[in-house]
Amino acid sequence: MATSTPSPPADPVVAPPRPARAGRWLATGAACVAAGGCIALSVPPVGFWPLAVVGVAIWDRSLAGVGWARRARRSWLVAAAWLAPMTLWMWDLTAPGYVIATALFAGYFAVAGAAVPPHAPGRWIAMPGAIVLAEAARWSFPWDGVPLATLAMGQADAPLAQPARLGGALLVSGLVVVCGVAVAAGWARRWWWSVGAGGVVVVTLALAAVAPSGTPIGTLEVAAVQGGGPQNTRAAATDPATVFARHLRASAAVRTPVDLVLWPENVVTLDRRLPGSPEDDALAALARRLDAPLVVGVTEVVSDTEFRNASVVYRPDGSRGPRYDKVLRVPFGEWVPFRSWIERLAPATGLPPRDARPGTAPAVLVTPAGRLGVAISWEVFFTGRARDGIANGGEVLVNPTNGSSFWLTQVQTQQIASSRLRAIETGRWVVQAAPTGFSAVVTPTGQVVERTAIGEPRVLQHTVERRRGDTIATRLGEGPVLAVSVLLVGVGWWRADGPGRSIRRARTRRARRARTPSGPVPAPRFTG
């Protein structure tokens, strides 16, 4: 009887080895840093705006299908890679403050990442709202916020900037995220969602094209004076008389007749009050010589612990007119929060010895040339200050500024982007004057018609329109955008689609197809 030889046991099925956990973490971290880096490169001074959309799309993919803690950590890393290089200017004010601010503001976006569902399409609905809310938070808190290196700034030279007249810079930031969602949905081959997100953007752009943007009521010949001089110079290491003399010399290039002359922020620096000073007499004489109102940036010491930063009007007859005292101050630059504690961490020489006393008046100056909306330097980054000036009758928006203490051009280029956004939001011409650059003239559509270089003495003289009337953004503010953002987050969670729900839907669809006859249904037969 033949016996059969047992066959050898089959080789066990060996699953392919999973990548090492460290390798997965490294790949995920690299993707998050790449997303933040793309957003950073979209912000001035680089300003390649399409990269913001790419960055948001990568950000979205990094959040897909993971728990809330991972979404938070990954979003923090994206935001840190975005904000750290684009807010490097803060290091020059206070190194500890720079590190703390970067970590804190990235934390806002960590909360935003945790607040969106892990699965699409709920994530795609909620993500624009969550990121807009995080942007709004860091623009407001702490210490009135730090609205620099924003998603909206990167779009100042792009078509997406125009909807700012509908809902301000927050709407622009939201549209950037919607574009990123459209790319991410296309990446996932969810074409209807991709087309839908793109449709939202197209409709918003169309509405912006027909939305009110103010009407002209006259013209002004405006001269913005830039005295020039070296960049990266602190006030403590600069002779105020030299800066003042530079601007007097540069003003000789103003062509008359002229309707308004604008000097930069704090180019008149006094350790006493302005009235009765030699600078007061020289400015009155200049206004008389030019036969035009002169708006001058003045800082005055008012006590051992405080100073005031103001724009002061000199009338054509040399008399002093109204003044506007700066309301929003630069943290660590014009005032020091928790001064006694901070001075233990940062060298005292790197901090202002006095704090600026904030003003309380509306952001407007009444001059013989008309009513001017005023945003002094830092204030132009805040939508609310420009809106306040226009609500109080501002016909032109002026931005006297001083970025000469910064060693990079990050602040200056981002300030130009902010001036462009404020022009679109308010429907007004914006005239910006800086002692060492950049000075600029911007149209109500955000176009920069003229800009100076860093360090050059120059006068920008241009005919601008006086305008009146509100845009939707100045009339309604940011409230509607914030409300819609909260609604999107809520709808996103309501529409959240987890794996279990997807499986149940697929089973339901298969069951329906099984119950549906595949061929023609025969006609009923009747008997009787």
Q: Give pLDDT tens digits for 103-123.
A: 999 999 999 999 999 999 999
Distance CA 516, CA 44 (A): 58
Tokens of 20: 């090492």
Q: CA–CA separation, 345 vs 337, rounded Å?
A: 13
pLDDT at 340: 74
pLDDT band at residue 522, thresholds of 50, 70 and 90?
Answer: low
Q: Distance from CA of residue 472 to its chain's centroid?
A: 19
Q: Is the pLDDT of residue 158 over 60?
A: yes
Peptide bond into 257 cis (omega under 30): yes
pLDDT in tens, 440-460: 999 999 999 999 999 999 999
Q: How far apart are CA 168 and CA 426, in angstroms?
A: 9
The Cα–Cα gap between 475 and 167 comes to 10
Q: What is d(CA 360, CA 6) in angstroms, rounded to the nearest whole number?
A: 96
Give yes or no for residue 306 having a pLDDT over 50: yes
3-state SS of the chain: helix, strand, coil percent to 5? 50, 15, 35
pLDDT in tens, 277-288: 999 999 999 999
Give the model's pLDDT for residue 406.
Answer: 80
In the predicted structure, residue 10 carries a pLDDT above the cut 60: no
How many angstroms separate the CA atoms of 45 and 318, rounded?
A: 40
Distances (CA, A) of 33 to 26, 83, 119, 381, 440: 10, 11, 22, 26, 34
Give the β-pairing of 370-374 and 294-301: unpaired
- Strand 268-270 to strand 294-301: parallel, antiparallel, or no bridges (unpaired)? parallel
Whole-angstrom Cα distance, residue 249 to residue 234?
22
φ, ψ at 451 (rounded to 5°): -150, 145
Express as a percent the part of the chain with pLDDT over 90.
Answer: 76
- Res. 7: pLDDT tops 70: no
Helices (H), 257-409: 278-290, 339-345, 383-391
Residue 367's pLDDT band (boundaries 50, 70, 90)?
very high
**Can you read off the two tokens belonging to residue 506?**
């697929």
Residue 435 pLDDT: 95
Direct distance between the N- and C-terminal alpha carbons of the chain, in angstroms, rounded to an integer: 73
Label residue 23 by pLDDT band (50, 70, 90): confident
Element (H, E) at 82: helix 68-86
Task: Report the range of poorest mean pLDDT among 25-29, 33-37, 412-416.
Answer: 25-29
Q: Can you tell me the distance from the alpha carbon of 418 to that of 79, in angstroms, rounded to the nearest whole number?
A: 20
Closest CA to 115 of 145, 137, 99, 100: 137
For residue 4, pLDDT over 90 is answered with no
Q: What is the pLDDT of residue 507?
A: 60
Query: Which residue ranges make up each domain of the chain?
Result: 26-212+478-495, 215-336+349-470
Confidence check: pLDDT of 500 > 60: no
Residue type, 65: G
pLDDT for residue 528 = 40
For 379, which DSSP code? G
The contacts of residue 101 (CB under 8 Å, 6+ apart) are: 87, 90, 146
Calculate mean pLDDT across residues 417-446.
Answer: 97
**Does a cis peptide bond (omega within 30 degrees of 0) precede residue 438?**
yes
Helix (H) or strand (E) holding 365: strand 364-367
Asked if pLDDT for residue 17 goes beyond 60, the answer is no
**For residues 354-376, average pLDDT:** 95
CATH number for the domain running over 215-336+349-470: 3.60.110.10
Percent of the chain predicted with pLDDT > 70: 88
- Mean residue pLDDT of the chain comes to 90
pLDDT for residue 8 is more than 70: no
- Looking at residue 336, what is its pLDDT? 83
Mean pLDDT value across residues 184-188: 96
The answer to whether residue 491 scores a pLDDT higher than 70 is: yes
More confident residue, 11 or 132: 132
Give pLDDT, residue 6: 55
Enumerate residues 6+ apart whose C-beta is below 8 A from 420: 156, 157, 161, 430, 442, 446, 447, 448
pTM above 0.85, yes or no: yes
3-state secondary structure 130-145: HHHHHHHHHCCCCCCC
The residue with tokens 């911007």 is: 442
- Distance from C-alpha of 404 to C-alpha of 389, rounded to nearest angstrom: 25
Report d(CA 225, CA 296) in Å as an integer. Answer: 10
pLDDT at position 519, please? 52
